[in-house]
Chain A
Amino acid sequence: AQTVTQSQPEMSVQEAETVTLSCTYDTSENNYYLFWYKQPPSRQMILVIRQEAYKQQNATENRFSVNFQKAAKSFSLKISDSQLGDTAMYFCAFMAYNTDKLIFGTGTRLQVFP
């Protein structure tokens, strides 16, 4: 069975600084997707970034980028130039190809301070 682990329950960062959220996962699958979802106080689940396991290049979306280490089964999220609106819970998630089942970690609560 696949598992996703987020070892940082809470993180904080000052506005405009950079922060990295950690995620590790366990799977015997070779083909899969990894995701970071953001859940602001509104509780809406918002997709931040997606990585396909077969791609060696790390995904980037504006201020958000990942460090994907397939052999180490690690998938960290880097937020650059942090903004107050980045304050939220961040969930790492895993989906094996052709399963459509998204498995979430327990989340990291990020607080951005002015």
Chain B
Amino acid sequence: DSGVTQTPKHLITATGQRVTLRCSPRSGDLSVYWYQQSLDQGLQFLIQYYNGEERAKGNILERFSAQQFPDLHSELNLSSLELGDSALYFCASSAPGTGVTGELFFGEGSRLTVL
């Protein structure tokens, strides 16, 4: 158990809909990262938040948005869903000063299926 909690674990929805994925980082971790893993692909970095502020952005679509709340949990919002958005979405967290260890701790992922 990494200590990172993601909900829901599975989600099935239709094209054009909007969903929200939730992540609770490990206790004490300030950074939250979101990654997308399409079928049999590597993980693509979407976005990172540090203590409530956006810190780094990857190839995140304009239809997607995220935020980190004062209690440090994060939400990833996916709107106007398309079939190609079907993927496993991972959240990861890291402790302050990650530059010391470089380690990210991953949740179990949220599997999104768009029909």
Contact = CB atoms under 8 A, between A and B. Distances in A.
B31 interface: yes
Interface residues of B, number: 29
A112 interface: no
Question: Chain B binding site: helix, strand, loop or mixed by DSSP?
Answer: strand
Given A100-B98, A101-B56, A43 B42 contact: no
Question: Chain A binding site: helix, strand, loop or mixed by DSSP?
Answer: loop
A100 B31 contact: yes
Contacts of A91: 42-43
Contacts of A101: 33, 45, 48, 56, 58
Contact of B43 (A33, A100, A104): A104
B101 to A, nearest CB: 8
Contact of B102 (A42, A95, A107): A95
B84 interface: no
Interface stretch (A44-52, A61-69, A71-79): A44-52
Interface string A28-68: 00000101000000111101001010000000000000000
Interface of A: 33, 35, 42-45, 47, 50, 52, 91, 95, 97-107
A107 B35 CA distance: 15
